[in-house]
Structure 1
Amino acid sequence: MSGENYNDLQAFLAVARAGSFTRAAAQLGLSQSALSHKIRELEARLGLRLLTRTTRSVSPTEAGEQLMRSLTPSFENIDAALAGLSSLRDKPSGTIRITSSEHAAATILWPVLQTFLPNYPDIRVEVISDATLTDIVAERFDAGIRLGEQIALDMVAVPVGPPTRLVVAGTPTYLDAHPAIVTPRDLTGHDCINLRFLTHGGLYAWEFEKGSHALNVRVDGRLTFNSLDRILAAALAGFGLAYLPEDMVRPQIEAGHLRQVLDDWCPLFPGYHLYYPSRRQPSAAFALLVEALRYRA
């Protein structure tokens, strides 16, 4: 395969994954017109239309989908092989792309990066925060950080945080003015601040467990956010009940700004894990960051 053909295939994959010539061009360091020209030449050589273009989006055709499925494993192996060469250098180097929830990025990832990066000036880290699970293979991330119970079984999962739990809390003023909450079912009569997942648009169902009893409650309320910080701010402003990681609300509870309910229905569960494909060949830089993040009780 000539270098020109390789570059054109790489350009096609970038556009198909990004769903946009503009975003793909920025990732590849090309102008949008140069990228469009590459794709047109590739389509002309193959005699097939690979991408469907509209004024708002770009998506692969049936032929494009087939080409993506065929190319992706090969390009991943090439990228892994090239990344693995960094282990032969005196200084670990390269860019590590990580997808993480906003809360994990702030409480787990960032504290480690502050001490890790000064020791390795040739390592770069890109962190993308997303409230939902991301397909790290399709989106070309090196790893993700999510709660342990959310990770697919075919991934390598490394604990990076202690066991945790979600708790229900509201202001004393709100709780005193509304009916008592004894079981999770009582939440249906309260103003609850919802969390919406952007990827599939659904609302998070509040999960509870007590002994052998597990219960998911679809709560209702006037406010919905895709940010845990905004949910906390709304709860502190008295707009209803929040269901949040305990470490976020504990300072507010201790200060008397919030009061916790349903404590016996909120058990501990596996904390944050860093995960990556089992077939991945870790680079020296990636292996160092994994060890720096690894949770040790």
Structure 2
Amino acid sequence: MRKDIQDIMAFIAVARERSFTRAAARMGTSQSALSHTIRGLESRLGVRLLTRTTRSVAPTEAGERLLQTVAPRLDEIEAEMDALGELREKPAGSLRITTAEHAANTIIWPALERFLPQYPDISVEVAVNYGLVDIVAERFDIGIRLGEQVARDMIAVPIGPEVRMAVVGSPAYFAKRKKPKTIEDLPDHNCINLRLPTHGGLMQWDFEKDGREVKVRVEGQVTATSGTQVMDAALRGLGLGWVPEDMVLGHIADGTLVRVLDKWCQPFPGYHLYYPNRRQGAPALTALVEALRYRAPTGRASR
């Protein structure tokens, strides 16, 4: 029975990762050993659990059934085991976080710099991803996204102030084109897109003025996969970029980037961390949530 459980956990890792390589890396074993384990489990059960090709791995109908019925129960057991950490003198364990690049750079890394030395028995994995991740299915403990993107069935905690975006271009770019005065002028400009990995789509630019909200799909010659790439492309004169304001304030101040459409870029709810109800009370998670929780500066009310 114990071997079956261990082998099922190996199957779940491969099925969730859709990759023997990534699953083996996560479990600290070799691909060949993992493949041997899955074949042994399939042999004992008498059914095929995974469909393997040269490019992909996916659960069969039987594998999907096993994944949907057994995996949640094993997750519950793991959560209960983690909860036993309350009996320890200090919180301990591993935590996995999925976050966007901007939040990682401005909030997560600075917080971990202070947090981890205080909790030497806690380890943290940070995965940067712009897509909306199912943190339960992907086995993340914490997701971090802008407040308006957090699922309603999750516990959400604000971890940063309001965010404001900026539309910027280089002086060299504007030497060849007129500055846009309204969002209706954007189709006449080379705009730098950001591709979202979840569905392969392009991020819309969100604007607001006088209570009017507008989502704009822009076009241009360059498509990037991170905010840093968008900013770098704008600095090189390749087009207009739409990025978090704090990323480019220094460049605006020294004149290497010029801001436009300022009145259309209004503040909106900032980053929140979120996690499922069943994880509430886990000591390591609670400690990290408290370390990340946003506290408005004295004299200002938090929103």
Q: Deviations over 1:242-290 (max 9, x none)?
A: 1000100111111111111111111110001111112324321110110
- Aligned with 1:48: secondary structure? coil
Report the AA paired with residue 105 of structure 2: A
**Aligned residues, how many?**
296
Contact (CA 8 Å) 2:79, 2:278: kept in 1 or not?
Answer: no
Q: Determine the C-alpha separation between the residues in 2 that align with 1:187 and 1:172.
A: 17
Local SS of the residue matching 1:202: coil
Question: What runs of 5+ residues in structure 1 fail to find an aligned partner?
Answer: none
The residue that corresponds to 2:160 in the other structure is 161
**Over 3 Å off, 4+ runs:** none
Note if 1:9 corresponds to 2:44.
no
CA shift, 1:47, in A, is 1.6
Counterpart for residue 88 of structure 1: 87
CA contact (8 A) 1:185 1:217 kept: no
Identity %: 58
Bigger shift: residues 275-284 or 201-210: 275-284
State the alpha-carbon separation in 1 of the partners of residues 251 and 276 from structure 2. Answer: 38
Superposition pairs for residues 210-289 of structure 1, below 5 Å? 210-289=209-288
1:223-253 Cα distance to aligned partner (Å, 9 max, x none): 1100111111111111111100010011111
Matched to 1:96, the amino acid is L
Residue 150 of structure 1 pairs with residue 149 of structure 2? yes
Residue equivalent to 1:21? 20
Give the Cα separation in 1 of the matches to 2:150 and 2:195: 19
Q: Secondary structure at the match of 1:279?
A: helix
Partner Cα separation in structure 1 for residue 220 and residue 54 of structure 2:
37
> Which residue does the alignment assign to 2:180?
181
Q: CA deviation at 1:176?
A: 4.1
TM-score by length of 1: 0.96
1:194 Cα deviation after fit: 0.7
Identify the residue that residue 201 of structure 2 maps to in structure 1: 202
Query: Counterpart in 2 of 1:130?
Result: 129
Distance 1:180 1:12 in 2: 56
- Mapped contact 1:171–1:258 kept (Cα < 8 A): yes
d(CA) in 1 for partners of 2:9 and 2:176? 60
Cα separation, 1, equivalents of 2:141 and 2:269: 22
> Does 279-288 or 230-239 show the bigger shift?
279-288
**2:64 aligned residue:** 65
| Corresponding residue SS for 1:180 | coil
Q: Report the more deviating stretch, 254-263 or 244-253.
A: 254-263
| SS of corresponding position for 2:278 | coil
**TM-score, normalisation: structure 2:** 0.95
* Gapped regions of structure 2 (runs ≥ 5): 297-303
- Distance (whole Å) between structure 2 residues aligned to residue 294 and residue 154 of structure 1: 19
Deviates more, 1:27-36 or 1:247-256: 27-36
C-alpha contact (below 8 Å) 1:80/1:281 kept by paired residues: no
8 Å contact kept, 1:80–1:282: no
Q: Could you tell me which residue of structure 1 aligns to residue 107 of structure 2?
A: 108
Corresponding letter in the other structure for 2:276: P
